[in-house]
Structure 1
Amino acid sequence: MQKILMKEIQVGFLMSYDYELLKISIPLVYKEADHITIALDKNLNTWSGSKFEVKPEFFLWLKSFDKDNKISIFRDNFYNPNFNAMENEVLERKMLAAKMGIGNWLIQLDSDEYFVNFKKFTEELKVRNRYLNDPEKDQIQIAGYYINLYKYTDAGVLYVSKPRNQKFATNYPAYKTGRNTKKRVIYVPSIVLHECLSRTEEEIRTKFNNWGHSHQVNTNSFLEKWRKVDKSNYKEFEDFFYLEPEKWKKLNYVEGKTIAAISENLNYRKLRPSKPFIFSKNFEQWFKFLFK
């Protein structure tokens, strides 16, 4: 039984049909995490109610990898047939956060999210430990920046040229949609590679049919463009986002056949938001919530 202390780095992963990606994402945060909790639906239901399977070999890998006994699996029913997929996502995230323990930094990640420098992110959290003294009163979210991977080619990957912010941690998990609590956001210059759409067509269909946005996405319309785009013509296209296309305006290309190689070849200095930009965003948030 895990003994939860206060002001820990508690990391939670949501485990579903793409669970094999956890073999990439977990090692990137393992050393700096005080504890890792993996949420797994006990009936192996997705948020849309579809079934998935988990090969026994995955649990053998998890046991052999967990040398410091930091990882536990939280099994419960995270699917309510009366909820849509997003409502079930929020349900699971809240249940997972409660298991992790309020009074800690609650970091929630998906299987396809790969922190580039998790140690630096935890340092950003620890200098703000004062927000853990009375979390309900001083509710905040900590956001880093996604580099969204769009499509693999023979020798590399197409990715969205402009990083987008994403909430990864909070001190109080009153989630409204996904990981968003609608409370004050503090932005930090941390980068996460998001293997969002850099999958096979079959895997994309599975994702679109079962994730929190399943009721919002036109899968066939998205895939029509996705199939056409490749390394030779990507500069001829624009507007790639699956919900509001204009939010992903342009793509870039980087070589690398593995996440490690891609990460090594990306120019993070160029991609990472500047200090003045981060300062401006944080000042806006501070002023917005000053009198709330």
Structure 2
Amino acid sequence: MRDKKHIIKAGYLLSYDYSYIFTSVKQIYDHVDIIVISYDENNKTWAGNDVFIPESFFSEIKSLDRQNKITFYKDKFFISGNAPMDLETRQRNMMAEKMGHGGWHIQIDGDEYAYDFKKLTQFLRKNKYLLANPEKNPINFQVDWVTLFRHDKSGFYIIEPFEEKCFLITNYPKYKYARRTNTGRTLSLKYRLIHQSWARDENEILEKITNWGHKNDFDTMKFFEFWKSINSENYTDFIDFHPLAAADWHKLSFFPAKNIKEFILAFEKKFPQPELTLDLSSTKKIKLWLKSLF
């Protein structure tokens, strides 16, 4: 049965970097209808390593849940012998089922911060007619990542320009590779999503690259050594250095901020979210609207 009450749905995959989710949830909480947080019932990562999430985490999340929007979903997400990326995709699909049919599905990672999220949800609610008949008219939206690559006591080294795409929203959550659905029409939105990504301490980066979905996609340890070499004297030397698609990370710039909270506030002030528009012809919009009536 299609859920017509909940229009904006957010889902998180919870694992080794659970502490980042607090910052992320605070950005979106007031503007979503439901949030589902999924985690492995046997405390395993996709690589089969143990992960410890303290009980205090769940109570702290609940203390943020003033309107009872958050649901925890635990299941067996690690299966021995399966590639980490296959398991990530599987968990995303299982979580989508838990989130329920209908509405805009937003699968957001714990280290992604959707500032001025209200502007994005207003756009999605305005275009909720696109939610009708998603099986026949799948719609996906991708946004622009603002990737944070390294940090020191003075601030953050970030990837520019902000052109790396992130598949974030769909009305038809049938995932084929991580958040990619490979079905229907994919449209770009000029919305910026801050991704803390590699801007972590060394031990956190090691934990990340030995457990994430991309574990087997490139020489992570070689890239880790490169990452450690970045500093205030050489960060401008590196051009086109993404490990999978070089041109996606063109160059590094420096943004002063003492911590991530200060970064988000300062970044939003310097780069306010633009007005969002639906990148479709007037004729196509009318056709889709007419289809939504039947």
| Superposed pair shares fold, TM > 0.5 | yes
The letter of the residue matching 1:29 is I
In 2, the alpha carbon distance for the partners of 1:157 and 1:270 equals 15
C-alpha spacing 1:270/1:115, structure 2 compared with 1 (3 Å): closer
Residues 58-207 of structure 1 mapped to structure 2, 5 A cutoff: 58-163=57-162, 164-183=164-183, 184-207=185-208
3-state SS, counterpart of residue 92 of structure 1: helix
Query: Which secondary structure does the structure 2 equivalent of 1:263 belong to?
Result: helix
Provide closer, same or farther for how the CA distance between residues 242 and 268 of structure 1 changes in structure 2, counting only shifts above 3 A: farther
122-131 or 45-54, larger mean C-alpha shift = 122-131
CA deviation after TM superposition for structure 1 residue 245, in Å:
3.1
Moved more, 125-134 or 37-46: 125-134
C-alpha distance in 1, partners of 2:161/2:141? Answer: 19
SS of 1:30 mapped into structure 2:
helix
Counterpart code for 2:80: P
The equivalent residue for 1:244 is 245
The alignment yields a C-alpha RMSD, in angstroms, of: 2.4
Retained in 1: the 8 A contact 2:209–2:215?
A: yes
Q: Distance in 2 between matches of 1:91 and 1:275?
A: 31
Check whether the contact 1:162–1:271 (CA below 8 A) recurs between aligned residues. Answer: no
| Equivalent-residue separation in structure 2 for 1:120 and 1:261 (angstroms) | 21
| More off after superposition, 229-238 vs 46-55 | 229-238
Q: State the partner residue of 2:289.
A: none
Unaligned runs of 5+ in 1: 287-292
What count of residue pairs does the alignment treat as equivalent? 280
Change (3 A) 1:94 1:197: same
Task: Give the Cα separation in 1 of the matches to 2:127 and 2:274.
Answer: 20
Matches within 5 A, 1:212-223: 212-223=213-224
Q: What are structure 2's unaligned runs of at least 5 residues?
A: 285-294
1:274: how far off?
A: 9.8
1:19 equivalent in structure 2: 18
> What is the percentage of aligned positions where both structures have the same residue?
32
Give me the whole-angstrom Cα distance separating, in 2, the residues matched to 1:161 and 1:221. 23
8 A Cα contact 2:14 2:37, kept in partner: yes
TM-score normalised by L of structure 2: 0.88
Contact 1:79 1:88 in 2 (8 A): yes
Q: CA deviation at 1:273?
A: 8.2
Aligned residue identity for 1:86 = M
Question: Hey, what does 1:257 align to over in structure 2?
Answer: 258
Distance in 2 between the 1:51 and 1:230 partners?
A: 32
CA positional deviation for 1:213: 0.8
5 Å-filtered alignment, 1:268-287, equals 279=279
1:28 corresponds to which residue?
27
SS for the counterpart of 1:210 is: coil
- Report the TM-score, using the length of structure 1 for normalisation: 0.89
- Name the CA shift for 1:272/1:226 in 2 (closer, same or farther; >3 Å): farther
Q: How far off is 1:232 after superposition?
A: 2.3
Residue type at the aligned position of 1:197: W
Tell me the CA shift for residue 116 of structure 1: 1.2
Question: Residue in 2 aligned with 1:290?
Answer: none
Is 1:41 paired with 2:40?
yes
In the alignment, which residue of structure 2 is the partner of 1:231?
232
